[in-house]
Amino acid sequence: MNPHTSTSQRPDLALDLQSVAFGAIIDELGREVPITESMIQQACRELDESQQRQQPPKD
């Protein structure tokens, strides 16, 4: 695909671009795994939960 091809000409690419946050991680086997919005949302939820467990109770 050349850089001037739009996603409207490649509907499969448009779907991929919607689910990928334009980043990747390298897994334990050395494979590149695209970072998705759902992965980011899950990480944020886990961080919020972790922060809530660490905060002392309010009086």
The model's pLDDT over 7-45, given as tens digits with 9 standing for 90+, comes to: 456 555 555 555 555 789 999 999 999 988 899 999 999
Confirm whether 49 is domain-assigned: yes
Backbone angles phi, psi at 23, to 5 degrees: -155, 170
Confirm whether 8 is domain-assigned: no
β 32-36/20-26 pair status: antiparallel
Task: Confirm whether pTM is higher than 0.95.
Answer: no
Confirm whether 1 is domain-assigned: no
Residue 38's domain comprises: 13-54
How many domains does the chain divide into?
1
Which residues of 1-59 form beta strands (DSSP E)? 20-26, 32-36
Confirm whether 7 is domain-assigned: no
Confirm whether 24 is domain-assigned: yes
Confirm whether 39 is domain-assigned: yes
